[in-house]
Amino acid sequence: MEAGKQNIPNIFNRANKLKIPHFQRSYVWREEQWERFLDDMQYASHANRPYFMGSVILKQQETQVNQDNIRTIIDGQQRLTTVILFFKALFNNNGTPEKFPHIFTTYNNGVILEHNYSDKPIFDKILLDQDLESKEKKSQISKCYKYFLENIKPSEIDPNKLLSNILFVGIYLLYNEDEQQIFDTINSLGVRLTTAELLKNYLFRDDIDFYNTNWRDVFEKNDEIKEYWDQEVTSGRNIRNNIDLFLQAYLFIKIQENGINVSSDDKERFFKIDSVFNSYKEFITDYEMDKNAIINELKEYASVYKNTINPKIVEQDIDKNDYAQRLNLVMFGLDTATIIPYILYVSKKVTSQEEKNKIFRYLEAYLMRRLICRETTKNYNQLFRSLINNEINSFEKLKEIIEMKGEKINKMPSNSTVEDGFNNSNLANKYAKGVLYLIERTTRNDLNATELKYFNEYSLEHVMPKKWRNNWNTQNLTNEQAEQRDDLILTLGNLTLITKQLNSSIRDSDWPTKKNGNGRNLGLTEYAQGIKIFSQYLQRDNWDESTIKERAAQLHKSTVERVWNLDF
């Protein structure tokens, strides 16, 4: 690897062709970025001093003797595309269009930057002064060029100053160096290349027809499908694209196959979430996997994934008897994406819908009981990997593994342990909301006049407020009793779902005011009305420790008898 300060003629070295991988993301900059770019160019020209525009990563490609020297753009695609379009418009506007090819073409007069598959035709037409079709004028590439044509004022910009003063940190990689590791190190606080973008270039290279059939038609066929795979999902501490979660899940399943015999050390290496693309490359290479077979299986699993996994479930109604929907809410509402590979495995391998329902129902009970009891989640990754490795593809096998005698780390909490959880556990708001929402969804009558809203439309409220000392009856409590109350108000019995945040003026008020409002602002009677697991308490004249314990007992009873019972 070499790195150094580079101006525009250095980056666009006419002895080299720059190439954006065929299936890299399209050009996406919009007017906000173009406006800022133009301001930067005007400033750099006026100041006539060095102006840095960040780093670009270029990777040398293996080429034949009679081929152009090619450097692939690993990072900097958006900026370098914009630079070329900007100078194309600038030279046209200042009346010197003949200068453009002396800087931005190769020595054999070819276009110096070969764009990706979708943008290349439009980009080339613009640089070669060819007319665009009406639909091509709607592309971001075309809109960018038009913006600069309409907004560049030649009198305010000296191109010669820009060519020498606009600087990048140029990072040049050899063909055998790991671009993902370097990219991630440099952009640790920015947006990383997705696994999908790297993988499709690795699998398909420049084979457009093969790509169209086996990738585009699966993941990019239309806007609806593309939106599904591109949506961002919170996974642990990271926000990732849905397609990346899928690719990771498939790899996790594949490397567990007994016939492939992936070593335990390699399994651990391939499981590193921050290098899924490298794991694919090494797995395919080291274990001599057939790329075409991998691609075909990816297509099969992608169909199953799309029919099963729904990150938007938090914004949709769920059928209380649809256990796949319910598990999706647990996964995406309560940040339990660790289980996705096993859910995908079961969905693909188990053909009986009845059997799948029993597995999903048991998994939901397992996850939610442990959540209520604040059992550790640290071993989940290892657990669900082992379930795939041991081909646990039936309800009886799953139940036997979880309820294995002597198992402590992954145990299924008993009814009495769950009861203790309702009385004592202090859950984070999103987890408490998930517990209450699923209890409400399961136990409410479908004929209830008040329709249950989507998960994301609810907030959580402490009925007895955390600041109870301000307006709540202290009843001459001792210090010990006050501390016990502080602990109790954080438990599930003191929490309720509400449709709208209470006004701060009544949030800490006494029970009658908090319940009914103060004349100017509404209270719990308005915002918690219709919630079956709480509405009956709106008739109470008092809310105190005994009421909280009573409600905790009621929630526990609903849980072990109806919601997450273990009677299959």
DSSP 159-221: HHHHHHHEEEEEEEE-TTS-HHHHHHHHTTTSPPPPHHHHHHHHHHTT-HHHHIIIIIHHHSS
Do 494 and 364 lie in one domain? The reply is: no
Do 428 and 407 lie in one domain? The reply is: no
* pLDDT score for 386: 92
| Tens digits of residue pLDDT in 328-351 | 999 999 999 999 999 999 999 999
Distance CA 215, CA 201 (A): 11
How confident is the prediction for the chain on average, in pLDDT?
Answer: 89
Do 375 and 246 lie in one domain? The reply is: yes
Of the candidate ranges 60-64, 456-460, 510-514, 531-535, the one whose mean pLDDT is the lowest = 60-64
Confidence tier at 398 by pLDDT (50, 70, 90): very high
In a domain, 201, yes or no: no
pTM of this prediction?
Answer: 0.74
Distance CA 179, CA 12 (A): 20
Confidence tier at 406 by pLDDT (50, 70, 90): low
Confidence tier at 189 by pLDDT (50, 70, 90): very low
In a domain, 469, yes or no: yes
Alpha helices in 339-389 (DSSP H): 340-349, 353-372, 380-389
Residue 187 has pLDDT above 80, yes or no: no
**Single residue among 386, 413, 440 that ends a domain in this structure:** 413
What are the backbone angles phi and psi of residue 446, rounded to the nearest 5°? Answer: -65, -15
Residue 190 has pLDDT above 60, yes or no: no
The count of domains in the chain is 3
- Tell which phi-psi region holds residue 517, choosing left (phi > 0), alpha (psi between -120 and 50) or beta: left
Residues 6+ apart with CB under 8 A from 537: 463, 543, 547, 551
For residue 23, CA distances in Å to 201, 206, 207 come to: 6, 8, 10
**Single residue among 413, 433, 463 that ends a domain in this structure:** 413
**Single residue among 391, 413, 435 that ends a domain in this structure:** 413
Is the CB of residue 21 less than 8 Å from the CB of residue 181? no
| Tens digits of residue pLDDT in 549-566 | 999 999 999 999 999 999
In a domain, 202, yes or no: no
Count of residues making up the chain: 568
In a domain, 71, yes or no: yes
Residue 48 has pLDDT above 90, yes or no: no
Is the CB of residue 101 less than 8 Å from the CB of residue 109? yes
In a domain, 195, yes or no: no
Distance CA 111, CA 101 (A): 9
Most confident range, picked from 190-204, 298-312, 474-488: 298-312
In a domain, 388, yes or no: yes
Do 395 and 275 lie in one domain? The reply is: yes
Do 382 and 422 lie in one domain? The reply is: no
Residue 74 has pLDDT above 90, yes or no: no
* pLDDT score for 191: 46
Do 294 and 308 lie in one domain? The reply is: yes
Do 14 and 49 lie in one domain? The reply is: yes
Do 13 and 138 lie in one domain? The reply is: yes
Which amino acid is it at 306? K
* Positive/negative CA dihedral, 207, 208, 210, 214: positive
Residue 6 has pLDDT above 60, yes or no: yes
DSSP three-state, residue 18: strand
In a domain, 90, yes or no: yes
The mean pLDDT of 457-481, rounded to a whole number, is: 89
* pLDDT score for 179: 56
* Positive/negative CA dihedral, 376, 381, 384, 389: negative
Record the tokens describing residue 464, joined without a space.
Answer: 């007895």
Query: Which stretches of 419-544 are assigned E, i.e. beta strand?
Result: 459-462, 495-498
* pLDDT score for 90: 96
Do 217 and 151 lie in one domain? The reply is: no
In a domain, 371, yes or no: yes
Residue 296 has pLDDT above 90, yes or no: yes
Instruction: List the Cα angle 284/285/287 in 5-degree steps.
Output: 70
| Tens digits of residue pLDDT in 346-363 | 999 999 999 999 999 999
Do 90 and 223 lie in one domain? The reply is: no
| Tens digits of residue pLDDT in 107-144 | 888 889 999 888 999 999 999 999 999 889 989 999 99
**Nearest C-alpha neighbor of 508 from the set 456, 443, 552, 464:** 464
Residue 274 has pLDDT above 70, yes or no: no
Burial of 345 (0-12, 13-18, 19+ CB in 10 A): buried
Domain residues for 408? 209-413
State the DSSP string of 258-313: TTT---HHHHHHHT-GGGHHHHHHHHHHHTT--HHHHHHHHHHHHHHHHHH--GGG
| Tens digits of residue pLDDT in 426-456 | 999 999 999 999 999 999 987 776 889 999 9
Do 214 and 319 lie in one domain? The reply is: yes
Distance CA 314, CA 327 (A): 11
Do 27 and 100 lie in one domain? The reply is: yes
